[in-house]
């Protein structure tokens, strides 16, 4: 039997200036699961995500990725398995052209040129950005940048995909494409977002973070139906309100 | 458009130009780098009072810019940016070195003015060669070429980051400047205290952004090794390219071509 994709045990993170960001988070996500992490600003969502591929190391507690403990020694392997899409796509694009940027990850994995090329084409095609391959990264629109940033991560063929506010700054059409893309992926997906409508469509399970602690963990439609919980975490029901949540609760 | 925005656009334009497939872009980056180094060494090796003898060297950046299909506008703008530097280096010469040296069209020129012209010309030649090199190669390939030529990895990676973070710094400065313009009353000067505060903000914001860019690189397996999607291989054409230009530099260095051509034409006329 495959080990869980992600296991966090009593994860604590305190920043260098003494600010506590995570105060004992436990989480277990199974392979292929789509999980959302929601919470107010400062709840610890991005800090939690950054532990999943070792951009931050725990102050205490542990992180296991597919049965492998996150340590300095396993960092490279963990990063190969966990793809991270940053909140600001602009931070993620650093090569001059789209093709070079998407190829950056596969090249660092040491893939042969032909295989790397195939992965670049497949990743660009998956996000509908094949036509952008020769474009300069700084000339892309916000939605195109987001698509290319996701392609850059998909090209590394990670088994776990971590996305920080993926729908931020996207127009409705771009957001719809993103939702369809995320729904079509088979990898384990962890999405931190304020976009509860996206969560309803993509993630059957949601983890609610509040001041560095897990306030709730369960089925999305059920948790979103809890008005008090949403209010406590400074969240609002998605557009369409409770009716939409009720519809999501109906078996598909 | 603000001056900062224009600078950022120019910097990015060079990267975009380097990504095109042009006759010069297809040359191995090491060959272009070595030839450019030889060119700069040749330019710097001339006596400080020689101006006319330097002129044939302008052929190098001109031919390469044509091969790289670089717009003349890009080249001129970069040269314009280098102007203050040339002025700073050479402006004292006319004041300190007033000995008469030559008469040009009836005007007597001091040695200081001649050396100033020589410095300005040398800076213009070197800067244009560097711009052509970057505009036909791109910084990632250039850094990879430096590493392949034996420069320690720590320097090549620093250079790559310097280039990337330059965009970060200028981008942040542009955003701060726009925010200031939008809320500053028109025509009112902004105080020194505010400028100091802005500078502090700029550094903090640029640092934060640079940290995120670095994290994004680490998240995609960056281990300080430069790998290119399309690694070039040294070909016979690259050897010929190098040999041809180096031979030309040697000729220009040891034969005063303008004088030789002048003497030849004068002889023909007489």
Residue B193 in this model has a pLDDT that exceeds 80: no
pLDDT of residue B29: 92
Tokens for B117, please give them.
């012209």
Q: What integer is the mean pLDDT of B117-132?
A: 92
pLDDT of residue A153: 93
Residue B72 in this model has a pLDDT that exceeds 90: no
Q: How many residues does chain A have?
A: 252
Measured CA to CA, the distance from residue A221 to residue A196 in angstroms comes to 10
At A51-63, the pLDDT tens digits run 998 999 999 999 9
Domain boundaries in chain B?
3-151+233-256
A152: which chain B residues are within 8 Å (Cβ-Cβ)?
220
Reduced to 3 states (helix: H, G, I; strand: E, B; else coil), residue A167 is coil
pLDDT of residue A239: 64
Shortest Cα–Cα distance, B10 to chain A (Å): 12
Measured CA to CA, the distance from residue A67 to residue A70 in angstroms comes to 9
pLDDT of residue A56: 93
A91: which chain B residues are within 8 Å (Cβ-Cβ)?
209, 212-213, 215-216
Please give the C-alpha separations between residue B170 and each of A88, A241, B107, in angstroms, as whole numbers.
17, 43, 44
Of A92, A107, A116, the CB nearest to B216: A92
Tokens for B136, please give them.
């036909």
B140 with A91: Cβ contact below 8 A: no
A155 touches A123 (CB < 8 A): yes
Domains and CATH numbers, chain A: 6-249 (3.40.50.300)
Q: What integer is the mean pLDDT of A15-30?
A: 93
On whether any CB of chain B is under 8 Å from the CB of A138, the answer is yes
Please give the C-alpha separations between residue B162 and each of A98, A108, B159, B227, B269, in angstroms, as whole numbers.
21, 20, 5, 17, 56
Q: Which residue has the tokens 């506590």?
A: A20
Q: What integer is the mean pLDDT of A128-133?
A: 90
- Identify the residue with better confidence: A251 or B177: B177
Q: What integer is the mean pLDDT of B207-220?
A: 86
Measured CA to CA, the distance from residue A74 to residue A80 in angstroms comes to 10
Q: What integer is the mean pLDDT of B162-178?
A: 80
Of B19, B219, B227, the CB nearest to A107: B227
Residue B78 in this model has a pLDDT that exceeds 90: no
Q: What integer is the mean pLDDT of B237-261?
A: 93
* Per-residue pLDDT band at A136 (split at 50, 70, 90): confident
Q: Burial, B258: exposed, middle or buried (Cβ in 10 Å; 0-12, 13-18, 19+)?
A: middle
On whether any CB of chain B is under 8 Å from the CB of A175, the answer is no
A45 contact partners, CB below 8 Å, separation of at least 6: A37, A38, A39, A164, A192, A209
Residue A243 in this model has a pLDDT that exceeds 80: no
Q: Among residues of chain B, what percentage have pLDDT more than 90?
A: 26
B219 with A139: Cβ contact below 8 A: no
A109: which chain B residues are within 8 Å (Cβ-Cβ)?
221
A156 with B218: Cβ contact below 8 A: no
Reduced to 3 states (helix: H, G, I; strand: E, B; else coil), residue A196 is helix
pLDDT of residue A246: 63
Q: What integer is the mean pLDDT of B239-259?
A: 93
B225: which chain A residues are within 8 Å (Cβ-Cβ)?
108
Residue B6 in this model has a pLDDT that exceeds 90: no
Tokens for A154, please give them.
């998909």
Residue B153 in this model has a pLDDT that exceeds 90: no
Of B139, B216, B228, the CB nearest to A91: B216
A40 touches A233 (CB < 8 A): yes
Calculate the CA A195 to chain-centre distance: 13
pLDDT of residue A240: 62
- Provide φ and ψ at B110, rounded to 5°: -80, 165
In DSSP terms, B233 is beta-bridged to none
Strand locations in A86-166 (E):
160-164
pLDDT of residue A231: 87
Measured CA to CA, the distance from residue B35 to residue B95 in angstroms comes to 36
A108: which chain B residues are within 8 Å (Cβ-Cβ)?
220-223, 225, 227
Of A53, A108, A116, the CB nearest to B222: A108
Of B15, B209, B218, the CB nearest to A96: B15
- Identify the residue with better confidence: A6 or A112: A6
For chain B, the average pLDDT equals 85
pLDDT of residue B270: 77
Residue B189 in this model has a pLDDT that exceeds 70: no
Q: What integer is the mean pLDDT of B238-245?
A: 95
pLDDT of residue B81: 80
On whether any CB of chain B is under 8 Å from the CB of A44, the answer is no
A136: nearest CA partner in chain B:
B16
Measured CA to CA, the distance from residue A35 to residue A51 in angstroms comes to 16
A118: nearest CA partner in chain B:
B229
- Identify the residue with better confidence: A20 or B16: A20
Reduced to 3 states (helix: H, G, I; strand: E, B; else coil), residue A168 is coil
Q: What integer is the mean pLDDT of B204-213?
A: 85
A22 touches A57 (CB < 8 A): no
B213 with A94: Cβ contact below 8 A: yes
Nearest to A24 by CA among A223, A229, A212, A157: A212
Measured CA to CA, the distance from residue B129 to residue B135 in angstroms comes to 10
Q: What integer is the mean pLDDT of B252-257?
A: 90
Among A120-129, A180-189, A195-204, B79-88, the range scoring the smallest mean pLDDT is B79-88
B216 with A97: Cβ contact below 8 A: no
Residue B95 in this model has a pLDDT that exceeds 90: no
pLDDT of residue A235: 85
Residue B186 in this model has a pLDDT that exceeds 60: no
Tokens for A30, please give them.
């199974």
Q: Among residues of chain A, what percentage have pLDDT more than 90?
A: 56
User: Positive or negative CA dihedral for A80, A83, A87, A92?
Assistant: positive
At B42-70, the pLDDT tens digits run 999 998 888 889 999 999 999 999 999 98
On whether any CB of chain B is under 8 Å from the CB of A49, the answer is no
Nearest to B145 by CA among B224, B227, B33: B33
Measured CA to CA, the distance from residue B78 to residue B126 in angstroms comes to 11
On whether any CB of chain B is under 8 Å from the CB of A15, the answer is no
A94: which chain B residues are within 8 Å (Cβ-Cβ)?
164, 213, 216-217
| A59-73, A125-139, B148-162: range with highest mean pLDDT | A59-73
pLDDT of residue B211: 86
**pTM assigned to the model:** 0.74
On whether any CB of chain B is under 8 Å from the CB of A92, the answer is yes
- Identify the residue with better confidence: B4 or B17: B17
């Amino acid at each position: 039997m495959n080990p869980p994709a992600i296991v966090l045990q009593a994860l604590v993170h305190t920043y260098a200036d003494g600010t506590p960001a995570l105060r004992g988070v436990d989480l277990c996500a199974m392979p292929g699961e789509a999980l959302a992490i929601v919470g107010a600003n400062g709840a610890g969502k991005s800090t939690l995500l950054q532990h999943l591929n070792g951009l931050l190391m725990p102050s205490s507690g542990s992180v296991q990725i597919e049965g492998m403990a996150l340590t300095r020694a396993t960092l490279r392997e963990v990063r190969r398995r966990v793809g991270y899409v940053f909140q600001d796509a602009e931070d993620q694009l650093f090569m001059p052209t789209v093709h070079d940027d998407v190829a950056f990850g596969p090249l660092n994995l040491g893939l042969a040129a032909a295989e790397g090329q195939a992965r670049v084409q497949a990743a660009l095609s998956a996000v509908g950005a094949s036509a952008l391959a020769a474009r300069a990264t700084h000339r892309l629109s916000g939605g195109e940048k987001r698509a290319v940033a996701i392609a850059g991560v998909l090209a590394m063929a990670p088994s776990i995909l971590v996305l920080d506010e993926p729908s931020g700054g996207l127009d409705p059409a771009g957001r719809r494409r993103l939702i369809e893309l995320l729904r079509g992926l088979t990898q384990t997906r962890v999405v931190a977002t304020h976009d509860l409508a996206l969560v309803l469509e993509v993630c059957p399970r949601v983890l609610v973070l509040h001041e560095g602690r897990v306030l709730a963990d369960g089925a999305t439609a059920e948790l979103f139906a809890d008005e008090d919980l949403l209010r406590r975490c400074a969240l609002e029901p998605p557009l369409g309100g409770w009716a939409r949540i009720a519809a999501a609760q109906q078996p598909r | 458009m603000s001056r900062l925005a224009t600078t950022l656009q120019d910097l990015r334009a060079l990267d975009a130009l380097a990504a095109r497939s042009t006759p010069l872009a297809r040359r191995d980056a090491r060959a272009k780098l070595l030839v450019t180094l030889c060119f700069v060494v040749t330019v710097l090796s001339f006596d400080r009072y020689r101006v006319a003898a330097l002129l044939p060297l302008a052929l190098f950046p001109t031919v390469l810019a044509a091969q790289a299909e670089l717009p003349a506008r890009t080249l001129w703008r970069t040269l314009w940016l280098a102007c203050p530097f040339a002025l700073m280096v050479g402006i004292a010469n006319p004041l300190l070195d007033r000995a008469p040296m030559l008469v040009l069209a009836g005007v007597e020129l001091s040695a200081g003015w001649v050396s100033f012209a020589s410095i300005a010309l040398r800076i213009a030649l070197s800067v244009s060669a560097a711009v052509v090199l970057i505009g036909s190669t791109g910084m990632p390939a250039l850094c990879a070429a430096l590493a392949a030529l034996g420069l320690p990895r720590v320097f090549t990676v620093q250079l790559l980051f310097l280039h990337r973070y330059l965009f970060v710094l200028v981008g942040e400065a542009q955003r701060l400047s726009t925010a200031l313009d939008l809320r500053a009353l028109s025509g009112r000067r902004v105080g020194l205290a505010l400028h100091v505060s802005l500078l502090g903000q700029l550094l903090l914001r640029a640092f934060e952004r640079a940290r995120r860019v670095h994290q994004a690189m680490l998240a995609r397996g960056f281990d300080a090794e430069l790998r290119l999607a399309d690694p070039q291989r040294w070909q016979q054409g690259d050897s010929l390219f190098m040999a041809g230009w180096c031979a030309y530099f040697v000729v220009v260095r040891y034969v005063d071509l303008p004088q030789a051509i002048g003497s030849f034409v004068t002889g023909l006329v007489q």
